[in-house]
Amino acid sequence: MTVQARKFGKYLLLDRIGSGGMAEIWRARQFGAAGFQKDLVIKKILPHLAANDEFVRMFIDEAKIAVSLQHANVVQIFDLGSVDREYFIAMEYVAGRDLLNLLIRCTHLRIRVPQKLALFITMEVLKGLEAAHGATDSRGNPLNIIHRDVSPSNVLISYDGHVKLGDFGVAKAQRRDSESTRAGTMKGKLGYMSPEQITGHPVDARSDLFGAATMLFEMLAMNRLFKADTELDTMVMVRDAAVEGPIRGLPPSVPEGLRTVLLKALARRPQDRFQAARELHDALADHLFEARIRVSQADMSRFMRSVFAKEFEEDKARRR
């Protein structure tokens, strides 16, 4: 949605690019000395929620969690503040589309996400998760951050081929908020939750890995792994994690070794899965090496610019 640009503190709001039940997302620009300017994203709390102290505190927590993560595969946070009682987060602008948009576009074009790019995207997400899971505070104490919503709409892919994990809005730092992992808390998108998350049991980093593997399956199958007619039935599917049949039903182009990796990554019990993001990343990297498949950011960029050719040109024009 394009609206008239307007000032917002030290930023200029250019286009409203998204709006949900909790916040508005704007493409914005920051100006500085000697003609300096930078495009970024402003996430603003909706006015009716700004008076809710608990929600504002949760919003600020999101920024505090995300700002502690300085990594190429995590959307960067630049600023947190308020303008006329409107709280906002200023974050990195990723010129591209999210994975959900990519899957929808590929479905519309009746093409598949190339297998090597599905692996590339997943491995880049896992690098971001590794950074989150291993993050520490200023004293070196582990924050034990769990994203809790690893899903296609939170994976941003730039036209230059960069892959970044964003929206730590439901992430929790266990050390600071032990309630975040206790039974009864359930946040995120149902079809990408782990069995333990969907049933309200304690979650840890292995839950995020389950979400990453669920996305990988979807890219390989071009179909959702856990999707039923009702939310309750979807929850039952996730709880049971009966993935052997769907994995067997993947296209013949998916080799047996990759299916084996998926079976382990999507195991119902956390102790039967890969135990760390690096372990799953390396298993996928080993598969690429053994298959003698090379994939790079340049490959990702070419695919994005091809699939979103019109949007790529429009985005370039907007930023001139």
Tell me the catalytic residues.
149
Q: Enumerate long-range contacts of 131-138, CB under 8 Å, 24 or more apart.
A: 131/69, 131/70, 131/71, 131/73, 131/74, 132/69, 132/71, 132/74, 132/165, 132/168, 132/171, 132/208, 133/205, 133/208, 133/276, 133/277, 135/68, 135/69, 137/68
Rounded CA separation 226/238 (Å): 6
- Asked if residues 139 and 248 have their Cβ atoms less than 8 Å apart, the reply is no
Question: What are φ and ψ of residue 119, in 5° steps?
Answer: -70, -40
**Which strands sit side by side in the sheet containing 163-165, from one edge to the other?**
96-98, 155-158, 163-165
Rounded CA separation 26/4 (Å): 12
**Which tokens in the block code for residue 234?**
């979807």
**Which tokens in the block code for residue 134?**
């291993």
Q: Find the radius of gyration of the CA atoms of the chain.
A: 20
